[in-house]
Amino acid sequence: MTAYRAGLGYDVHRLIEGRALILGGVEVPFEKGLEGHSDADVLLHALIDAILGAAGLGDIGAHFPSSDPSIQGISSVDMLTRVMEMAEEAGWHVENIDGTIVAQQPRLSLHTPKMKAAIATALGIEEGRVNVKSKTTDGLGFTGTGEGMAAYCAVMLARQQEARTRETGAEPDGTSPL
């Protein structure tokens, strides 16, 4: 039988001058970039948290603490591949990914196909399993004023496992046989 686990990730970074804007593993031309210890890729951080959540492996801060000097300037694609390796060791693979970037500017719809391709390549999965959307907030809140960007990501992981009936006599859903 196949077991499925859903995960949800959320992340926020401040927009500042003098930084490259990296989103979904892609550099997007813009006058500002996101602030952070790594490349501050808000979408990939939300994706990493979603994978860790679905696999029951905690969160990004536990695996990549900002106090650790070795992650200074680390590429979020590297963080993503490391986290996916952990999930794969536990038998999980990605069924599908659905992410949303919340930003007033720049216009991201031109860049989301490249992000989709970069994520699929980093994870070694078909592009059809990855969806990336972008959204504005009509000028409302910190994303609307351009103070920062946010991202949400949902992930479904799947793994093959033995039906429990063979070991315990219980039904796969955990109920006892009548």
Q: Which stretch binds Zn ion (CB under 5 A): 18-26, 41-49, 133-141, 146-154?
A: 41-49
Q: Minimum Å distance from CB 15 to Zn ion?
A: 13
* Torsion sign (Cα): 139, 142, 19, 43: negative
Interface residue with Zn ion among 43, 45, 129, 130 (CB under 5 A) is: 45
Cβ proximity to Zn ion, 63 vs 93, nearer residue: 63
Near Zn ion in 138-177, by CB under 5 A: none
Q: Give yes or no for residue 11 binding Zn ion (CB under 5 A).
A: yes
**CA triplet 107, 19, 150: central angle to 5 degrees?**
50
- Phi, psi angle pair for 120, to nearest 5°: -60, -40
Cβ proximity to Zn ion, 68 vs 89, nearer residue: 68
Q: Which helix (H) or strand (E) holds 83?
A: helix 76-89
Q: Give yes or no for residue 49 binding Zn ion (CB under 5 A).
A: no
Q: Give yes or no for residue 111 binding Zn ion (CB under 5 A).
A: no
Mapping DSSP onto H, E and C, the string for 8-45 reads EEEEEEEEEECCCEEECCEEECCCEEECCCCCCCHHHH
Q: Minimum Å distance from CB 18 to Zn ion?
A: 18
Report the alpha-carbon distance of residue 116 to residue 130 in Å, rounded. Answer: 6
Q: Give yes or no for residue 39 binding Zn ion (CB under 5 A).
A: no
**Interface residues toward Zn ion, by CB under 5 A:** 11, 45
